[in-house]
Amino acid sequence: MTAFPTGPSLPLSLDWEDWYQLCCPPFDAADAHDRFEDRLERATDLALELCADLGARGTWFCLADQARRHPGSLRRIADAGHRIALHGFTHARAFQLDEATFRASLQAGKAALEDITGAAVTGFRAPEWSLRDSAEDWWRLLPELGFAFDSSRAPLKVLGDPAWPRRPYRLPNGLWELPPPVMGLGPLTVPMWGWAMRLWPAALLRARLEALAAERAGTPLVLHPWELDEGQPRLPETTLGHRFAHAAGLKGYGSRLRRLWRGLALEPLEDWIRAREAAEVRVAEPVLAEVHS
């Protein structure tokens, strides 16, 4: 295996959606934005503040319908030096759409985000890691729609497949896939984000994070801005499982992350890919020179 130059850093991703945007009723209804309190601007401020305190820049996977409701917030994210990528036109799971609708929603979503910030959108993450089930191979549509990378394939049961690689790789059409970090083996594999990042022992998480950063593993950290909003209402009408995954450990999470992530160089996914591609060229150049000499 080729050794690439390393420097301790990790990609950082933020899924830009509001606190109530679960992919299930009643939160996925067409009128959900009117039924639940709009707290996205507040959550955005908290996440921007966290990033500024940590000296971190990240890739924000954004919903186009929320960007149209909050264009000023989207611009503030971009103006702070972060990259904007697409999380969907709406927060509907990919496999709940037909292929033509999925394609059209990505086209319209990318255009809407680019119109607002003026910057190219080249990354995609499906809501709830939903490039699975009937949408499992829809990554093949992404390059022709103008995307260079995806971060939707979670190597986990339920949300994806534990057999999928745990490190970034290129899919057969050249698209980069940057899977989120997990820990554990087989049925005991857990995500390294959300409830696990909020509740797992800090010393254990910190050791894992330092190891991933030292390896320059390329597995993006995942944060939802609403996870920093301690004043959000309780989710109504949800199962115990949903409530646990959504709300457990929210109190003090901002302070916890400031300690857990301190000193790590956190960068947009685009930067990790660019550095990796440059390293690959540097490794390939002497080989090519030898062939031509």
Residues that bind Zn ion (CB under 5 A): 15, 17, 127
Which amino acid, 46? L
Cβ-based nearer residue to Zn ion, 23 or 214? 23
Of 216 and 246, CB closest to Zn ion: 246
> CB of 205: closest distance to Zn ion in angstroms?
22
Q: Which is nearer to Zn ion, 15 or 271 (CB)?
A: 15
- In angstroms, what is the minimal distance from the CB of 89 to Zn ion? 13
Smallest gap from residue 129 Cβ to Zn ion (A): 9
Shortest distance (Å) from residue 22 CB to Zn ion: 9
Closest CB to Zn ion among residues 127, 268: 127
CA-to-CA distance for 186 and 157, rounded, in angstroms?
Answer: 9
CB of 186 to Zn ion, least distance (A): 26
Question: What pairs with residue 85 in β-bridges?
Answer: 61
Amino acid present at 34: D
Residues 6+ apart with CB under 8 A from 17: 40, 63, 66, 87, 91, 127, 224, 226
Identity of the residue, 108 or 204, whose beta carbon is nearer to Zn ion in the bound complex: 108
Least CB distance from residue 17 to Zn ion, whole Å? 5
d(CA 159, CA 27): 19
Paired with 61 in beta bridges are: 15, 85
For Zn ion, which is the closer residue by CB, 9 or 90?
Answer: 90
